Structure 1
Amino acid sequence: MDVSIKITDRNGQSHQVLAPTDMNMNLMEVVRMYELAEEGTIGICGGMAMCASCQFYVLNDFSLPEKSDEEDAMLWEAFNVKENSRLGCQIQITSEINGLEVELAPE
């Protein structure tokens, strides 16, 4: 099954995308799959929660899984962090996130 996610890129363009729940993907990989960020500007660490290049803001009221200590620590060091900041590599694509709306943080 696919879930629908609305992703606003770094240029302010909005994209409604479908992401498969059966491929063990995360939000950062979905952004890469649809090429919504310039090559080499997202997921630089390969999804290890070590670079914050996949930081995004949650725009709608959504209950996402709790942040891990690694994600929390990385966001503590990152730039442009807001209350609703999360790392895309830490958000798995599951049926629970159908309808999620996010915006990529500035590079």
Structure 2
Amino acid sequence: MSDIKIKVQDYSGEVKELEAPTDMGLSLMEFLKANEYPILATCGGMALCATCHVKVEEGMDALNEPGDQEMDQLDILPNAEFNSRLACQLRLHPDMDGLSIRLAADEDQE
């Protein structure tokens, strides 16, 4: 099976469980944009803008370690926490089944 389930909490607090394909090489950011979440991704997924900032509520252990460029961006966010990640740097894979995230880029403006 190549689909996984991901729970996404939007800025209003609404949570939806979505099925995500793992066989297309999509990033979490691309998947969120395809599902019409308000992800700006102004840098196109290059870890340069942090407009795809998410907070991982469940499943952090299934994710790859953040690279230097991602860490540099997270370091400048006023609301970054231990569970903060950039969705553009997370490629969907079967181990991510059950992942739960909360959109957080809009919080950065507060």
Same fold (TM over 0.5): yes
Equivalent in the alignment of 2:22: 21
SS at match of 2:8: strand
Larger deviation, residues 55-64 vs 92-101: 55-64
Equivalent in the alignment of 1:101: 100
Q: What is the aligned residue count?
A: 104
How has the CA–CA distance of structure 1 residues 101 and 82 changed in structure 2, closer, same or farther, with 3 Å as cutoff? Answer: same
**Residues 3-51 of structure 1: CA distance to partner in whole angstroms, max 9, x if unpaired?**
11001011111111111111110111111011122xxx42111000000
How has the CA–CA distance of structure 1 residues 88 and 23 changed in structure 2, closer, same or farther, with 3 Å as cutoff? Answer: same
Q: How many angstroms does 1:106 deviate by?
A: 4.1
Q: Distance in 2 between matches of 1:34 and 1:45?
A: 19
CA RMSD for the aligned pairs?
Answer: 1.1
Equivalent in the alignment of 1:52: 50
- 1:10 touches 1:106 (CA, 8 Å); kept in 2? no
Q: Distance in 1 between matches of 2:70 and 2:89?
A: 7
Q: Distance in 1 between matches of 2:100 and 2:27?
A: 14
Runs of 5+ in structure 1 lacking a partner?
Answer: none
- 1:28 touches 1:42 (CA, 8 Å); kept in 2? no
Q: Distance in 2 between matches of 1:42 and 1:101?
A: 20
Q: Distance in 1 between matches of 2:50 and 2:59?
A: 22
SS at match of 1:18: strand
After superposing on structure 2, the runs of 4+ consecutive aligned residues of structure 1 that deviate more than 6 Å are none
TM-score, length-scaled by structure 2: 0.89
Q: Distance in 2 between matches of 1:35 and 1:106?
A: 15
1:4-15 aligned within 5 A: 4-15=5-16
Q: Distance in 2 between matches of 1:3 and 1:19?
A: 5
State the identity %: 38
Runs of 5+ in structure 2 lacking a partner?
Answer: none
The question of 1:81 aligning with 2:84 is answered: no
